[in-house]
A = this chain, B = another copy of it.
Amino acid sequence: MSVRKMIALHPDAKGHANEPMALAAKHAMYCALFATSCADACSAEAMDMRQCIRTCLDCADVCTAAAKVATRQTADDDAMVRAILSACMDACHICAVECDKHDHEHCRLCATMCRECADDCREALATLH
């Protein structure tokens, strides 16, 4: 169940995936699910978590798009990859800052995942021309 291995099987990849890009795809995928889960948990908390629900749902949508775009290897699409990975890096930073404000374990875990994903997006962006 390795995203990197799957990507390396693309006929143009010849067995070699762009490792930072594959990691960004995998972590954007995880971050989309973590932020979906955090928004869901926030909506069930007793206090008003509406800002965090909003931010997590937005972050999940951006990460879902980033994961799919970063996974694709066909043809040249550097400008497209740059656009969505930059947005994903920003979205994850914004979501981590919001989640850091709250004293819930799910917010802490979501913030950690967001920072990891933002770092991976930055490293993947550095591999583009």
- Which of B6, B10, B64, B73 contacts A34, CB < 8 Å? B6
A41 close to chain B: CB less than 8 A: yes
A1: chain B residues at CB < 8 Å are 27, 30, 113, 116
Chain A residues within 8 Å of chain B by Cβ, number: 66
- Main DSSP-derived SS at the A contact region: helix
How near does chain B come to A24, taking the closest CB pair, in angstroms? Answer: 12
| Contacting pair B80 A37 (CB below 8 A) | no
Interface centre among A1, A6, A105 (most CB of B within 10 A): A6
CA distance A99 to B71 in the complex (A): 19
Q: List 22 A-B contacts (CB under 8 A).
A: A6-B33, A6-B110, A9-B104, A10-B44, A29-B29, A33-B71, A37-B73, A40-B71, A40-B72, A41-B74, A54-B75, A57-B57, A58-B69, A60-B68, A61-B69, A61-B84, A62-B65, A62-B69, A64-B64, A77-B94, A80-B94, A84-B87
